[in-house]
Amino acid sequence: MHLRPRPAAALAATAAGVTALLVPAPAHAGPAAAAGPQGTPLVIAHRGASAYAPENTLAAVDTADRMGFAWVENDVQRTRDGELVVVHDDSLARTTDVEQRFPGRAPWKVGDFTAAEIATLDAGSWFGGQWAGARVPTLRQYLRRVDDNGQKLLLEIKKPELYPGIERDTLRVLGEEGWLDRRHVHGRLVVQSFGADSIRAVHEQRPDVTTGFLGTPAVADLPSYAAFTDQINPSHTSLTAEYVAAVQALKGAHGKRLRVSTWTVNDAAGAARVAAFGVDGIITNNPDVVRDAVG
């Protein structure tokens, strides 16, 4: 998703606060949980609790955990030497000190740096001095922290067109880190992307994994998406109650009704609005604000 979370101080003022690994597992028991208690929308912490800690860092995951949020969203990309790292932009400039450390390497694309180089960057100071020294985690580090916290993961494959084969790489790492066992696949993992071909590739390589398409396909096209995905996850600005109903009227790739998780909703009024549309999940930088708004 593309909306940029604001630093914590500003938000506090405004919001109060590999083949073997690709062998399919046993038949799918249904997509991961997509609604909260008593039908309220599931609240998903966008890039971790990114209103309160630097996005996509382990600190953001831990902050979401301390706030009581089980589901976190993250973004995965690939380095020059093939390591998967958790970062949103395809440039490192906005959320690290890469311009100071490597001044002659503009535009500082993730894919132009090795994992070792990225590991030296400060990914916290831009957000606040107390976060100085936070690092861009590898996907392996991120998965281990989420698992240690007992959390669940909405994993976005970011800009797959830049990284041919990243779907297979992502599934390999997920498998090696234990995230493709029955327990994770059937309740703790969703893989999503803006790239329909990317999600189709994930579904073909691991048909048991729950998948989501980021976007708002035309209603007439929804049946074709339902063949390889379990969720249609649109921007809240594109959403109507009629569209949510049209999505949910269809069955997805695992024979369960298609789900809708919308992004990025950061205020109480917006949360109440999309909840009234009947969405299954709300992806937000301010999970506490949304939780309070939707009960």
Active centre residues (catalytic): 46, 88
Beta strands in the chain (DSSP E): 42-45, 71-78, 84-86, 152-157, 189-193, 210-214, 231-233, 261-262, 281-284
Both tokens assigned to 225: 């998406």
Instruction: Give the Cα-Cα-Cα angle 60, 165, 213 (nearest 5 degrees).
Output: 60
Specify whether the CB–CB gap between 149 and 188 falls below 8 A.
no
Cα 247 to Cα 213: distance, rounded to the nearest angstrom: 12
Specify whether the CB–CB gap between 281 and 259 falls below 8 A.
yes
Cα 52 to Cα 69: distance, rounded to the nearest angstrom: 13
Specify whether the CB–CB gap between 160 and 75 falls below 8 A.
no
Structure-token match 């990914």, residue found: 123
Cα 134 to Cα 59: distance, rounded to the nearest angstrom: 8
Backbone phi and psi for residue 29, each to the nearest 5 degrees, phi listed first: -90, 0
Long-range CB contacts for residues 240-249, cutoff 8 Å, separation at least 24: 240/277, 241/276, 241/277, 241/278, 243/216, 243/219, 244/277, 244/278, 244/279, 245/278, 246/219, 246/222, 247/222, 248/278, 248/280
Both tokens assigned to 252: 């997805």
